[in-house]
Chains A and B, each alone.
Chain A
């Protein structure tokens, strides 16, 4: 018996030794080091959120910014396709004189254009300008209504970007990076400030006629932020939010019971795994339930008085930009943080009448001029303009040269993509009134004064919302990320 016991001990030693060879030790050590490294790569899954109780987990709860902010909400009007600054805001008499002459080689050296080949001809402004407002700003006749509100806005005449194709340039404009994967401005805003109205999404996206911008939905995506911060696309016709209604034969009470049951299970899952995406899911179910009542109400413009419809030029029951602009005002009035409007069709190459400066562009102006001017005036009379930041712009500018696709002159006037200089404007939200920042050269080819990057624009937007853009970060893949990446300075010149 004693001998047997000894054998047992010996065997245990032997087995133990076999399992702890040098080779096995090194293998285990390698795995553990890898596990440690992996742990540090997922900071988003740990720390802060783990400590909170499930009750306070609503990711859209309103939060304070870094410092007292002037702007509480933002309406971003993106004119996808890039409107031509020369037919809207930039009066260049010297360019008009050079009309029809060959472009000097100094402007073409080392430059790459999307479509211009060889030596193009200079193209003078295709519209008349008038000095308007107390600020004496020159505005094109293409924007007759905008002339009335020019003393409310600050122009950024020296904007530039580094992308000359639509999709990456739009990504750059909305996320600060030409590649996918970064959160959009609206996502950052709701991530930092939460949402005031608990019955409505904090970040709403409206596209005219349902045409998405070239870059697709990532321009209002949440990137590496939890997906609860992504933009909610609403439609101005039919169901405002898709799949919001109850399934057939399901009552609202039944719906409530099932959502509660699902959320209870989700809460258990969260307590086990602490994945922030589970929280997103819980709050989105709850939000969807509340939105069933609140969204149809706020998304209907038919209750608005007649003079408001006339002011905006809205068409009840149709899909159009004007309806979206009116909706944007209603949403902001109800406490929605960020409304993003997309309008497509500003890519005036001049290859057909529809994209010609003398036809297509003018039609686009006629569709959008009145609603935009009305938005400024309407917010002003409602006492909301001082807290609502409006931003208007495309993704880049257009060339002072005529486009000559494939080296051939075209039947219509058009301009190619131009990232070196373009005009945007901002209004309300603590921005100066009737002011111009920046200046381009005599032919509008490049900015000579107030040359601002998109990072600068983003820094300024965040500043008006109360954030120091250098300290507003989210940890991802082991390092803190910012909307402005490693650049950006606040454009103090336009801050009132």
Chain B
């Protein structure tokens, strides 16, 4: 218990010898270069204090290794270099204490090198290999997202292509070559079979018998739940996949198709893979689509000009160069509006002109909005003639023509727009259902059947 506690003190106290010894080395060299003159006593005091703390840290490090769950291979080099550092610092102290020696400053340099090396090796054990050199902003998130390299789901190896990436991402950080918490390693078949400290079966035949599944399934607040509460959790779909693997005998050699060909499993695998790709590409949460083109930024002057003229013009998200424009607070388009709209025509992705007093000529303005995605010109006086001006809006996905004088003829003019998906023609004379480019026409006029129960109530008596 006490030994365990002292072992853990290693993590905190290890910084003492680093700081004190390095300070001593600096004083030694500054003195030698005559930058700052210090007394021999002071330097010797620094080396002495540094050596004592180094001895304590070495001992506590040894205890931490004995009681903690660390891998012999990884810790070995840290242990040896730590031992060398301690010996060197003791040498340095005795030299400086008894007699000024001209080799002393070189030994001091050796101490500095060896302490840096020891510190680095120790850091690699705690934070993982390559912690210093990995600068990717989201590294912590990406590290815990499995990376799958699967072309054909049916032919994929269950273990090496599907299960191992999940375990690598979510478990091996603590149960692998660097750390061996609970004396358990999950980075190879042999290690998994061997199990950990509790000697329970890791890959038992079912949910109750498999320690791996049991731990993951425990409630999050349970102390024994894995991965620990503060770490990234196994997602539900990943868990279903692992359960399926374990319940089907936890094979390390079979392909998917050899075990199960039900569509449910194939869909599940597909979903897990897609989700990991999404997470890795950082695109997952942004709900709305914006065109993938470069446009010039919008000046605040233009935004102010829209505002003073009663038009809502908002960037599509913070710092976005794309604009969403809404004319809800005005009744008609003025020349100032026209001028300002022309200046930012390419930036506009959404334009709302519902219930506005406009005619076909005004749609010339829209023809210049090359990146327009959504257009509301419902409840206006536009006719088929006006729609001709929209035939170059190659990005357009949505157009709302409700309650206008548009007919089938006008709609046909939109069938060259490659991205058009939805056309709304409620309260018009349009009768078409789809266009050749696949755009769906919503004519509305939905009704709900009248049921006697709509008006009758069951009596309260």
Contact = CB atoms under 8 A, between A and B. Distances in A.
A67 B446 contact: no
Contact of A370 (B236, B290, B402, B454): B454
Contact of B287 (A62, A144, A378, A464): A464
B286 A68 contact: yes
Contacts, number: 128
A363 B458 contact: yes
A491 to B, nearest CB: 11
Given A63-B314, A334-B328, A310 B458 contact: no
B343 interface: no
Residue from B236, B284, B320, B400 with most neighbouring chain A CB atoms (10 Å): B236
A198 B460 contact: no
B444 A381 contact: yes
Tell me if B's interface is mostly helix, strand, loop or mixed: loop
Contacts of B426: 381-383
Residue from B316, B317, B320, B446 with most neighbouring chain A CB atoms (10 Å): B446
Contacts of B312: 62, 196
Interface in B116-153: none
Contacts of B275: 492
B412 interface: no
Contacts of B456: 366
Interface string A305-329: 0010011010000000000000000
A311 B329 contact: no
Tell me if A's interface is mostly helix, strand, loop or mixed: loop
A383 B378 contact: yes
A370 B286 CA distance: 33
A69 B454 contact: no
B376 interface: yes
Contact of A492 (B285, B314, B453, B458): B285
B214 to A, nearest CB: 15
A382 B444 contact: yes
Nearest to B458: A359
A68 B316 contact: yes
A307 B320 contact: no
Contacts of A363: 457-458
Nearest to B288: A68
A331 to B, nearest CB: 12
A291 interface: no
A281 interface: no
B447 A68 contact: no
Contact of B326 (A310, A335, A490): A335
B189 to A, nearest CB: 30
Contacts of A359: 458, 460
Nearest to B373: A68
A311 B446 contact: yes
B186 to A, nearest CB: 25
A69 B458 contact: no
A69 B288 contact: yes
Contact of B448 (A377, A386, A430): A377
A464 B460 CA distance: 42
Interface in B210-224: none
Contacts of A370: 448, 454
Interface in B393-448: 398, 400, 402, 422, 424, 426, 442-448
A374 B447 CA distance: 8
Interface residues of B, number: 47
A7 interface: no
Given A196-B328, A362-B458, A366-B454, A70 B314 contact: no
A217 B87 CA distance: 73
Contacts of B453: 144, 366
A286 interface: no
Contacts of B455: 313
A197 B318 contact: no
A246 B442 CA distance: 44
Given A310-B450, A381-B442, A382-B426, A68 B320 contact: yes
Interface residues of A, number: 51
Nearest to B323: A64
B245 interface: no
A199 B317 CA distance: 25
Contacts of A366: 453-454, 456-457
B239 to A, nearest CB: 10
Nearest to A148: B448
Nearest to B354: A333
B424 A468 contact: no
A64 B422 contact: no
Interface string A340-355: 0000000000000110
Contacts of B318: 64-67
Given A62-B314, A366-B456, A386-B398, A378 B446 contact: yes
A382 B424 contact: yes
Interface string B205-239: 00000000000000000000000000000001000
Contacts of A490: 285
A353 B378 CA distance: 48
Nearest to B450: A310
Interface in A479-496: 490, 492, 495
A148 B298 CA distance: 45
B347 to A, nearest CB: 13
Nearest to B316: A68
B458 A68 contact: no
A258 B280 CA distance: 60
A19 B442 CA distance: 84
Contacts of A380: 442, 444, 446
A156 interface: no
A367 to B, nearest CB: 8
Given A198-B329, A381-B442, A430-B288, A68 B448 contact: no
A378 B398 CA distance: 17
Interface string A128-142: 000000000000000
A67 B328 contact: no
B451 interface: yes
A301 to B, nearest CB: 17
B458 A382 contact: no
B322 interface: yes
Interface in A441-496: 449-450, 463-464, 466, 468, 490, 492, 495
B343 to A, nearest CB: 19
B293 to A, nearest CB: 14
Interface in A59-98: 61-71
Contacts of B196: none
B460 A68 contact: no
A145 B402 CA distance: 25
B54 to A, nearest CB: 41
A373 interface: yes
Contacts of B422: 383, 386
A450 B237 CA distance: 10
A490 B322 CA distance: 25
A54 B9 CA distance: 59
A62 B442 CA distance: 30
B315 interface: yes
Nearest to A366: B453
A197 B315 contact: no
Contact of A383 (B288, B317, B402): B402
6 contacts: A65-B318, A67-B316, A430-B288, A450-B236, A463-B287, A492-B275
Interface of A: 61-71, 144-145, 148, 196-199, 307, 310-311, 313, 334-335, 353-354, 358-359, 362-363, 366, 370, 373-374, 377-378, 380-383, 386, 430, 449-450, 463-464, 466, 468, 490, 492, 495
Given A64-B316, A383-B424, 14 more contacts: A62-B314, A66-B318, A67-B285, A67-B316, A67-B320, A68-B317, A196-B329, A313-B455, A334-B328, A370-B454, A381-B402, A383-B398, A464-B287, A495-B287
